[in-house]
Structure 1
Amino acid sequence: MLNDQKIEKFRQIVENKFQIYNSLFMSLPYDKMTNIGMLLPFLAEESKEGYQQGKSPEEIVEEFFQKHTELETEDQKLELLFKIIQYIERQVVLFDSIEDAAFQKLHSESDPGTVLNLYDRANQEHHLAAIRKKMDDFAIKIVFTAHPTQFYPNAVQRIIHDLRDAIINDSVTQIDTLLQQLGKTPFVNKEKPTPLDEAMSIIYYLRYVYYQSIGELYKKIKQTFGTSNFTPNPDIIQLGFWPGGDRDGNPFVTADITLKVAEELRISILKDYYGHLKVVRRRLSFRGVSDILKAVSQRIYDAIFQEGVKVSAEEIITELNKAEKILVEEHNGLFLDVLDDFRDRVRIFGTHFATLDIRQDSRIHQNVINDIYKKVIDEDIDSKTNDEKIQLLLDSGAVLNPDDFEDDMTKETLKSIYNIKLIQKNNGERGLHRYIISNSDEVKDVMNVYVMMRLCGYSEEEINIDIVPLFETMEGLDKSEQVMQTLYNDKIYQKHLDKRNRKQVIMLGFSDGTKDGGYLKANWQIYTSKEKLTKVSEDNDIKVIFFDGRGGPPARGGGKTHDFYASQGKTIANNKIELTIQGQTITSVFGNKDQAKFNFEQLLTAGIENDAFKSSKKELNEKERVLISELADISYRKYSDLKAHPMFVPYLQEMSTLEYYGRANIGSRPSKRGAGSELKFEDLRAIPFVGSWAQLRQNVPGFFGFGSALKDLKDAGRFDEIKELYKGSDFFKTLVLNSMMSMNKTYFPLTYYMRNNKKFGEFWNILFSEFELSKAMMLELTGYNILMQEEPINRKSIRIREKIVLPLLSIQQYALIKIQKEEGNRERYEKLVMRSLFGNINASRNSA
């Protein structure tokens, strides 16, 4: 009944509004877009009916031209398709804005997973003391990355922001004007964004969304759980930042860029403080208090605009404490809550706003270490073990000058390490305190970073940095326990851990893990690796914090984040929930104040619930473990066979948009690691890899192998065991539902034409058969009649979005077919693919 009410409300405030405001498009004076609103429904209908009849995208688009236009030349037809893409992109923005505007009406303050819901439940079950204790030493951290899964230009972002507000207020005149602005504002970057551009794009959200949403959420937590002897830790919600610091595979991120981004973060938070202080001073106009606040305001202003002037969070808080003393003693504490709210923001955001991380690939580090070794030790490098090389370099006492090296990467790496001290001085230690090493699978990967810091003149006491291995391949995950055990036993590293309060951050790569091992195997491997890493850390008296490199969609380790973290049992350390967020997940999950606040709450309560409330469904017994392991292994074999198929990489190269990701100006980072021209599977970035499957509407990494695993056990007469597992394990249930979400965004009729392709027909049929099998098996397992049966609103949202972009997909496939056939103007068709790629990326906010 409740679901029915929510569906009806969604229909009224989302679907109906979209129909009404969408009609405004038809009369807008868009340049070169006259009559598109009239023609688009015909292409949409031709696509819908054509695919049901088994027609190819080429047939559908050509029939559309023939039936509904009088265009004759190729140029005229291509011009129309470009206009249609522009039109659909703006429809997507409108739908996003309407859905965002409806968020508050579709969710309540006491929904499951909210702070108020947690309090009520804890109160009823007498767990308030346990929750306050957990809050004292727990945090969530969202780390924003610039990975190119969405990149609206800043001008478009601002229109989206304003459009959402206009829709909330039902201001038709304002909506009409903003839609006109949207029609005349370019959606495509003429040039690739720089890492600084990407940083500024996300800093926009920090300033105009997260400063308010996190501040208000902390106030809510304080009011709900605070007592006279308990104040929640202001550090309970944290932000991390990768643009400008993530050098892995991105040659455009330099040491100078990292400095610039750190400075932008510092100045941005001070600007927010300066603006907030204006509001505070308007209320606190009392003698003594106003003078202090005026001086603080001036000090912040000088730190923003005068070079060399810095202000620390501690200095600001000291002055605010003086103001509070006068306020309480002389003015009856009037508006103390206003001062308190501002001071809490300073405690939360410091002078860093978000913590900048440095990340680089372990193989790059090894090259740098070899370069250093040749210069400093000048011996045969191949005659020494890694341990010997490390010890010789540490014993050398050398202090390196980056400019003494010829290799650019060595120079840049060393400069980045020297910059750490400067950033910590300007932004505070919270401003940059982690160095992440991608593709970690050996002890030397961690020790190389330690050695480089020592060679850059840092004493043991001065290394105020967490060195974070990132285990992301199946091999890396397999080795992770042994690597950490060896590190914990290493005398040099032990000293470093003592300095870091015996805390170790370990990052696990869901995106690359899923790409490498398939959906089920990757998630199970990471789960069991976390268990082993928890045990080895606890055995060595180390507090371990897991940092998850999760993408938005299930195919990149994403999906239902709250359910995923709420399903982890006592065998996995739960000291902090930390994960990466990027692209469309930033805009769709954390894109405005209401959504951000709600989703921060969901994460926070997921972690706290795990310790406070016991549930047998969170713990896996031995029988369940054996069963999941068996399913994961079968799934892995099936997925590995697919990867080994000789057509796997050629299929992606020739039949998908993979080759065009690097050419579309959506991100600064190249779409593959390595500089060679030959495309190798291991060099593929997870985002273009998963994105290409999503553009084909095949979403292979999100389900492939899962159905075969279920079928094998069913054929062995063991399906009842899996049903029991699904009912008894929250973790397994979450994996099943997330995989179903991937399949719900799959549409194989788009590529039916490939089944008869001489080169790729057999491969396409392998993909299609596994999809059909996985869908049938999961429906049987869950007892559902349709995918995502218990999530009607999400299902409806996806359905509307897919309906909007179906013509866009037809155009993209049409262009790819023309390129494959070598027909017509190749350059124009390639531009059409890239243009539709950009549109589809921005459209797929809840992509698979």
Structure 2
Amino acid sequence: MRNNNRSEKFRQIVENKFQIYNSLFMSLPYDKMSNIGMLLPFLYEESKEGYEAGKTPEDILENFFTNHTHLKTEKEKLDLLFKIIQYIERQVVLFDSIEDAAFPQLHSDSDAGTVQNIFDRATQQNSVQEVRDKLNEFGVKVVFTAHPTQFYPNSVQRILHDLKTQITADSITNIDLLLQQLGKTPFVNKEKPTPLDEAMSIIYYLRYIYYDSLGELFTEIKSVFKTENFHLNEDLFQLGFWPGGDRDGNPFVTAEITRKVAEELHLSILKSYYSHLKYVRRRLSFSGVSEILEKLSQKLYDAIFKEDCDISAEEMITEINKAEEILSEKHNGLFKELLENFRDRIRIFGTHFAGLDLRQDSRVLQKAIDFLISKSEINESESLTENQKFKYLIENKPDFNFANWDEDLTKDTLQSIAQITQIQAKNGERGMNRYIISNSEAVKDVMNVLAFFKVCQYEDDEIKMDIIPLFETMEGLGNGESVMKELYENSFYKAHLERRGNQQTIMLGFSDGTKDGGYLKANWEIFTTKEKLTKISKEYGIKVVFFDGRGGPPARGGGKTHDFYASQGKTIANNKIELTIQGQTITSVFGNKEQAKFNFEQLLTAGIENDVFSNFKKELTENERTLFEELSTLSFEKYSSLKANPLFVPYLQEMSTLEYYGKANIGSRPSKRGGSSELKFEDLRAIPFVGSWSQLKQNVPGFFGVGTALNQFKKENKFEEVRQLYKDSDFFRTLILNSMMSLSKSYFPLTSYMKKDEKYGDFWQILFDEYQLSRALMLELTGFKALMEEEPVSKKSVEIREKIVLPLLSIQQYALIKIKKNPENKEAFEKLVIRSLFGNINASRNSA
């Protein structure tokens, strides 16, 4: 019933409003876009009816030109298509704004997964103190990455934010003005953003969204669970930051960029404190208190604008404590909560705002180690193994004058490590305390990083950094247990861990894991790897924290995040929930204060649920494990056969938008690892890989192999066992529902013309057959009549978005076809493909 009520509300305040404002949108005097609003419905109908009738995108577009325009030349047709793309982009922004504005009305404080809901459940089950205890030892860390999955320039993001505000207020006049501004504002970056540009874009969200949303949520938790001795852990909510520190394949990130980003984070939090303190001072105008706060305000101002001035979090808290003491003694504690809230912000954000992580690929780091060894005083006849190399550097600490080297890779690696002490002095240790190694597969990948610290002449107790292996390939995940066992037994690393409080963070890559092993296998492999790492860490007395590299869509580890974490059970360490968010996930899931607050608390309560509220559906029996293993193996075999098909990479290169990601001014980094011109599967980055399948509306990484696995059980008359697993296992149920989300965003009629392609027809048929099989058997498994039946609001949102972008998809496929047919006019159609990337991704939000 609640779902039905929410669905009806969605229809009233989202769907209906979109129709109203869209009609207003159609009448606005946009530059060169007059009459587009009248033509667009015709292109939609031509597309919808055309695909149902088996027509190709080329047929559909030519019918549209013939039936609804008088255009004759190719240039005129291209001009119109560009205008349509521009118009649809703005429709997407309008729908985003309306949906975001409706968020508070579609959710309440008593929803499942909210703090209030957890408190009510705990009260009913007499376990409030258990929740309090968990809150004191638990934490949620969200790490912002600069992965290019959000194509709105900053100027458009500001309009989107303002539109949401005016839609909430139902201010037609201001909405009209903002829509006019939107019509005249460019949607495309003229140049690629730099890593610093990307960092500044996300820092905007830190200042204007997360400073308040996390602060208010922290205050709410204190209020809801208040008791005399209840004090919340300051690390309950943490923010992490990759732009400017993530070197993995991004040649534009340098030690200098890292230093500048750390400085911007530092200045941004001080500016937030300065603004906040202005508000506090307006109320605390009392004798003795106002003087202290005025002095603090001046110190903050000087720290922001004068080079030789700075201020620490401890210094600020000391001043606030003084003011609070006077307030209590002389002014009846009036407005005391304002001081408490301000102090809590300082405890949460320190002088760093977000912890800037360093990250690099293990293969790149090994090259740097090899270079250092070549510069060392070692007998040339002496050939060292990779393990002997890091051991030699750690034990001998050779002091290189690397500042004068011409070899940039090793020089920058060492410079980035040498400056950590200076960054920590200004931003605090929480400002930079992690080095992440992508593609970790062996012990040397972790030890190499410690060798760099020793080469930079750090004493052991000066290495105030956590070294974090990132296991992301099937091989890396498989080696995870033995790698960590060997590390825990290594005397040098063991001593380092002791200095770090015997806590080890281990990162697991959902995106690359899914790319490598397929949807079901990757998720099961990560689950079982976490279990093994939990067990081995416990044996060695190590507190393990898992950091999940997740993207927005199910194909990259996204989807139902609360359900995923709430379903992991007791066999996986539950000390903290850490995950990456990026691109449209930042704007669509954490993009305004209401959404951010809601989704942060959903993560927090997911972790609490696992420990405090027992549920047999979270624990897997041996029979269920065997079943899971069989299903994932069957799925993996099917996906592996697809990967092994010699047409796999060529299909993506020639039939999808894969190669156009690198040509768009989206992000600063290349769209693939490595510098070779030949495209290899292992060099493909997960985002363009998954995004290309999404643009084709095929979403292969989110379902391929699941149908085959289910079908094998059906053939063997064991389907009822899988149905029971779906009923009894929250984890399996979440995976299936997430996979169904991928299916719901697939639309094979768009590319059905490919089945007649001489080269790729059979390959397309393989994809389509697995899609049909997966769809049919997942519906049979769940008992649903339609995909996403259990989530009518999300289902409706997806349907509206798919309707908006259907003409855009037709244009993109039309352009891809024309590129092959008319190579002489290739450049113009390539621009059409690139431009249509933006709207498709933005409309789908979490599908890339």
Per-residue CA deviations over 1:812-840 (Å, capped at 9, x if unaligned) read 00000001223551100000000001221
Give the Cα–Cα distance (whole angstroms) in 2 for the partners of residues 26 and 518 of structure 1. Answer: 43
Query: Residue 546 of structure 2 contacts residue 578 of structure 2 at CA under 8 Å; is this kept in 1?
Result: yes
Letter of the aligned partner of 2:317 in structure 1? I
Counterpart in the other structure of 1:147: 147
Query: Residue 652 of structure 1 contacts residue 692 of structure 1 at CA under 8 Å; is this kept in 2?
Result: yes
How many angstroms does 1:379 deviate by? 3.2
Counterpart in the other structure of 1:359: 359
Give the Cα–Cα distance (whole angstroms) in 2 for the partners of residues 276 and 404 of structure 1. Answer: 45
Give the Cα–Cα distance (whole angstroms) in 2 for the partners of residues 193 and 628 of structure 1. Answer: 44
Counterpart in the other structure of 1:637: 637
Counterpart in the other structure of 2:11: 11
Counterpart in the other structure of 1:739: 739
Counterpart in the other structure of 2:86: 86
Counterpart in the other structure of 2:383: 383
Counterpart in the other structure of 1:828: 828
Where 1:235 maps in the other structure, the secondary structure is coil
Where 1:116 maps in the other structure, the secondary structure is helix
Letter of the aligned partner of 1:715 in structure 2? K
How many angstroms does 1:787 deviate by? 0.6
Q: Which moved more, 1:387-396 or 1:509-518?
A: 387-396
Where 2:235 maps in the other structure, the secondary structure is helix
Per-residue CA deviations over 1:450-484 (Å, capped at 9, x if unaligned) read 01011101100000000000000000000000000
Counterpart in the other structure of 2:614: 614
Give the Cα–Cα distance (whole angstroms) in 1 for the partners of residues 711 and 534 of structure 2. Answer: 33
Query: Residue 664 of structure 1 contacts residue 838 of structure 1 at CA under 8 Å; is this kept in 2?
Result: no
Counterpart in the other structure of 2:230: 230
How many angstroms does 1:776 deviate by? 0.5
Query: Residue 362 of structure 2 contacts residue 437 of structure 2 at CA under 8 Å; is this kept in 1?
Result: yes
How many angstroms does 1:2 deviate by? 1.9
Residue 685 to residue 382, structure 1, CA distance change in 2 (3 Å): farther
Letter of the aligned partner of 2:455 in structure 1? L
Counterparts of 1:548-559 in structure 2, within 5 Å, are 548-559=548-559
Counterparts of 1:530-545 in structure 2, within 5 Å, are 530-545=530-545
Does 2:491 correspond to 1:523? no
How many angstroms does 1:6 deviate by? 1.1
Counterparts of 1:121-520 in structure 2, within 5 Å, are 121-380=121-380, 383-520=383-520
Where 1:152 maps in the other structure, the secondary structure is coil
Q: Which moved more, 1:431-440 or 1:233-242?
A: 233-242
Query: Residue 798 of structure 2 contacts residue 844 of structure 2 at CA under 8 Å; is this kept in 1?
Result: no
Where 2:467 maps in the other structure, the secondary structure is strand
Counterparts of 1:87-106 in structure 2, within 5 Å, are 87-106=87-106
Give the Cα–Cα distance (whole angstroms) in 1 for the partners of residues 364 and 292 of structure 2. Answer: 51
Per-residue CA deviations over 1:144-179 (Å, capped at 9, x if unaligned) read 001011131111111111000000000000000000
Letter of the aligned partner of 1:842 in structure 2? N
Letter of the aligned partner of 1:808 in structure 2? L
Would you identify which runs of 4 or more consecutive aligned residues in structure 1 move more than 6 Å? none
Counterpart in the other structure of 1:722: 722
Where 1:101 maps in the other structure, the secondary structure is helix
Per-residue CA deviations over 1:537-592 (Å, capped at 9, x if unaligned) read 00000000000000110011111000000000111000000000000110110000
The normalised TM-score by structure 2 is: 0.99
Give the Cα–Cα distance (whole angstroms) in 1 for the partners of residues 174 and 311 of structure 2. Answer: 41
Give the Cα–Cα distance (whole angstroms) in 1 for the partners of residues 71 and 382 of structure 2. Answer: 68
Aligned length: 848
Unmatched 5+ stretches in structure 1? none
CA RMSD of aligned residues (A): 0.9
Per-residue CA deviations over 1:295-316 (Å, capped at 9, x if unaligned) read 1111111111111311111110
Give the Cα–Cα distance (whole angstroms) in 2 for the partners of residues 823 and 351 of structure 1. Answer: 55
Where 1:232 maps in the other structure, the secondary structure is coil
Query: Residue 262 of structure 1 contacts residue 423 of structure 1 at CA under 8 Å; is this kept in 2?
Result: yes
Counterpart in the other structure of 1:571: 571
Give the Cα–Cα distance (whole angstroms) in 2 for the partners of residues 76 and 387 of structure 1. Answer: 64
Query: Residue 141 of structure 1 contacts residue 238 of structure 1 at CA under 8 Å; is this kept in 2?
Result: yes
Letter of the aligned partner of 2:607 in structure 1? G
Query: Residue 370 of structure 1 contacts residue 381 of structure 1 at CA under 8 Å; is this kept in 2?
Result: no
Q: Which moved more, 1:357-366 or 1:391-400?
A: 391-400
Per-residue CA deviations over 1:748-800 (Å, capped at 9, x if unaligned) read 00001001110000000000000000000100100001111110000000000
How many angstroms does 1:349 deviate by? 0.5
Letter of the aligned partner of 2:600 in structure 1? F
Give the Cα–Cα distance (whole angstroms) in 2 for the partners of residues 379 and 653 of structure 1. Answer: 47
Where 1:383 maps in the other structure, the secondary structure is coil
Query: Residue 435 of structure 1 contacts residue 468 of structure 1 at CA under 8 Å; is this kept in 2?
Result: yes
Residue 382 to residue 250, structure 1, CA distance change in 2 (3 Å): farther
Where 1:142 maps in the other structure, the secondary structure is strand
Where 2:691 maps in the other structure, the secondary structure is helix
Give the Cα–Cα distance (whole angstroms) in 2 for the partners of residues 79 and 4 of structure 1. Answer: 44
Residue 450 to residue 181, structure 1, CA distance change in 2 (3 Å): same
How many angstroms does 1:382 deviate by? 7.0
Letter of the aligned partner of 2:28 in structure 1? L
Query: Residue 373 of structure 1 contacts residue 389 of structure 1 at CA under 8 Å; is this kept in 2?
Result: yes
Does 2:598 correspond to 1:598? yes
Residue 811 to residue 382, structure 1, CA distance change in 2 (3 Å): farther
Where 1:102 maps in the other structure, the secondary structure is helix
Counterpart in the other structure of 1:700: 700
Give the Cα–Cα distance (whole angstroms) in 2 for the partners of residues 329 and 745 of structure 1. Answer: 62
Counterparts of 1:808-819 in structure 2, within 5 Å, are 808-819=808-819
Letter of the aligned partner of 1:363 in structure 2? R
How many angstroms does 1:390 deviate by? 2.1
How many angstroms does 1:412 deviate by? 0.7
Query: Residue 10 of structure 2 contacts residue 106 of structure 2 at CA under 8 Å; is this kept in 1?
Result: yes
Letter of the aligned partner of 1:781 in structure 2? L
Where 2:129 maps in the other structure, the secondary structure is helix
Give the Cα–Cα distance (whole angstroms) in 1 for the partners of residues 244 and 151 of structure 2. Answer: 16
Counterpart in the other structure of 2:24: 24
Letter of the aligned partner of 1:40 in structure 2? L
Where 2:419 maps in the other structure, the secondary structure is helix
Give the Cα–Cα distance (whole angstroms) in 2 for the partners of residues 389 and 845 of structure 1. Answer: 46
Per-residue CA deviations over 1:630-687 (Å, capped at 9, x if unaligned) read 0000000000000010110110000000010000011111000011111000000000
Letter of the aligned partner of 2:500 in structure 1? R
Give the Cα–Cα distance (whole angstroms) in 2 for the partners of residues 265 and 795 of structure 1. Answer: 38
Query: Residue 400 of structure 1 contacts residue 457 of structure 1 at CA under 8 Å; is this kept in 2?
Result: no
How many angstroms does 1:383 deviate by? 1.7
How many angstroms does 1:488 deviate by? 0.1
How many angstroms does 1:381 deviate by? 8.1
How many angstroms does 1:597 deviate by? 0.3
Query: Residue 377 of structure 1 contacts residue 392 of structure 1 at CA under 8 Å; is this kept in 2?
Result: no
Give the Cα–Cα distance (whole angstroms) in 2 for the partners of residues 162 and 380 of structure 1. Answer: 65
Query: Residue 352 of structure 1 contacts residue 427 of structure 1 at CA under 8 Å; is this kept in 2?
Result: yes
Query: Residue 394 of structure 2 contacts residue 450 of structure 2 at CA under 8 Å; is this kept in 1?
Result: no
How many angstroms does 1:380 deviate by? 3.6
Per-residue CA deviations over 1:588-637 (Å, capped at 9, x if unaligned) read 10000000000001000000110001110000010000000000000000
Where 2:141 maps in the other structure, the secondary structure is strand
How many angstroms does 1:485 deviate by? 0.1
Letter of the aligned partner of 1:417 in structure 2? I
Give the Cα–Cα distance (whole angstroms) in 2 for the partners of residues 376 and 824 of structure 1. Answer: 55
Give the Cα–Cα distance (whole angstroms) in 2 for the partners of residues 594 and 402 of structure 1. Answer: 49
Letter of the aligned partner of 2:16 in structure 1? N
Letter of the aligned partner of 2:239 in structure 1? L
Give the Cα–Cα distance (whole angstroms) in 2 for the partners of residues 624 and 391 of structure 1. Answer: 44
Q: Which moved more, 1:384-393 or 1:757-766?
A: 384-393
Give the Cα–Cα distance (whole angstroms) in 2 for the partners of residues 224 and 94 of structure 1. Answer: 36
Give the Cα–Cα distance (whole angstroms) in 2 for the partners of residues 382 and 781 of structure 1. Answer: 62
Letter of the aligned partner of 1:281 in structure 2? R
Query: Residue 711 of structure 1 contacts residue 777 of structure 1 at CA under 8 Å; is this kept in 2?
Result: yes
